Amino acid sequence: MNTTSLDLAGRRALVTGASRGLGRHIAILLAQHGARVALHCRAVEHPARLIADHLPGKGHAVVTADLADLDQAAALPGRAAAALGGLDILVNNAGIYERMPAAGEDLVRWRDLWERTIAVNLTAPALISAAAVPLLAERQGYIVNVSSRGAFRGEPEAPAYGASKSGLNALGQSMAVALARRGIKVITVAPAWVETDMTRDYLASPEGDQIRAQFPGGQVVDPDDLAWTVLLAVSGRADALTGAVIDLNSASYLR
């Protein structure tokens, strides 16, 4: 690939959940290709600040918001735009995964986990996207949503996670149509298990062999594969991807 065609110089990006995991990889790659990045973290700023300080280029920022607090979520694009001087790219990456009690057991906890997961994984990205639209429309920008293979095959131990990611897919497709005339592209990526600092303990445990067995090649998804897909999606070189839900699961689930 000719990486010079993926130059993001002058572009300004907000990446949610950027202090670790997939968000960290995405933020680093966008910065390496010229973007100024606002790294979002929930509350503790130090890890995100450390990443921002070591990104190539200048003008990066750190913004905090608890996405379970929907008022904070809605305010996030404006805060990022104020720090960067505008906004061209939004990557809704932040999300939570929590195993839930079996149906019929501990309904109070089941409901609490359901409501929190839907708030963070679906309602917050919806509000963030809606709030970002007036900013993105100034430069015909991009929204990228990070979904999951679980949206298609189900998540029996975490049904709220599967439901939230399925909803995120539909949200992205709906917004792609609604925002097309405003020049805003909306793309969704749906990875399977990705090897990051957040999943490393799982993959190193006895459960890791069962996880890898889901993949015909025996390897989970490389986080750089996802980051490069996001970069292509926002590069202006593949705008026909708007409305797409892109599977990144190494043939572990075909549909």
Q: Is 161 a catalytic residue?
A: yes
Identify whether the C-beta of residue 145 lies closer than 8 Å to the C-beta of residue 226: no
DSSP 194: B
Q: What are phi and psi of 48, to 5 degrees?
A: -65, -40
The CA distances from residue 27 to 50, 74, 105, 234, in Å, are 13, 21, 40, 13
The identity of residue 181, as a single letter, is R
Catalytic residue among 142, 161, 202, 253: 161
Amino acid at 74: A
Are 101 and 110 in contact by the 8 Å Cβ rule? The answer is yes
Burial of 121 (0-12, 13-18, 19+ CB in 10 A): buried
Q: Which residues are known catalytic residues?
A: 161
